[in-house]
Amino acid sequence: MARRFFVGGNWKMNGTKESLEELITTLNTADLDDQTEVVCAAPSIYLDFVRSLLDPRIMIAAQNCYKVAKGAFTGEISPAMIQDCGADWVILGHSERRHVFGESDELIGQKVAHALENDLGVIACIGEKLEEREAGTTEEVVYAQTQVIAENVNDWEKVVLAYEPVWAIGTGKTASPEQAQEVHENLRAWLRANVSDDVADSLRIIYGGQP
């Protein structure tokens, strides 16, 4: 069966109710392909607001969540809270979470497990830094990151893997289609060898840097 196209937009720490309402109006009037799954990742404080206005054909994602359901974790949000706002997805392992906020592979894996256990779809991000690409260790880095994610997945149908080279995010640099495709091809080979043929064939792998 052919993989359904997946397009995600991460709004990051941007927007006000006024500006987001303008963006939502544009999205609601867009000519969307029914065969493409569209997901918008809004700031957590606006998840409810966005869901109330955005066309139901467009899914909502949170940009992060924690590894447990509740507790004394100031500033964090749980999968249950995300779902309570009407969102269906969460982005985990984004390079900014890894390299700005210091999240480890282990923590990201724990978050992936908890999100999936609570029926959230997971957009799991992997990618190498510029010095790693220049050192020729791109595959080594993304395989290690993918390994930890794979160890925590109980349902691959609810996972999208986003390859986002760190050096192509907010730097003005872009990965060429050939560079992205090479990593995607290598990731499918890794999945075939380390997970299963079915997952290697069916998993949606997207490019997560700037176009």
pTM to 2 decimal places: 0.96
Average pLDDT over residues 93-107: 96
Q: Work out the number of other CB atoms within 10 angstroms of the CB of residue 34.
A: 7
Q: What residue type is assigned to position 200 of the chain?
A: A
CATH number, domain with residue 135: 3.20.20.70
Catalytic residue among 18, 37, 94, 182: 94
Looking at residue 108, its pLDDT comes to 98
- Active-site residue flag, 164: yes
d(CA 16, CA 178): 37
Q: How many separate domains does the chain show? A: 1
Average pLDDT over residues 3-27: 97
Domain that holds residue 42: 5-207
pLDDT(12) > 60: yes
Condensed to tens digits (0 to 9), the pLDDT of residues 135-148 reads 999 999 999 999 99
**Which H helix or E strand runs over 46?**
none
- Active-site residue flag, 140: no
Looking at residue 211, its pLDDT comes to 53
- Looking only at the bridges linking them, the beta strands covering 36-41 and 59-62 are parallel
Question: Half-sphere exposure (CA, 13 Å, Cβ side) for 131?
Answer: 0
Catalytic residue among 37, 128, 132, 164: 164
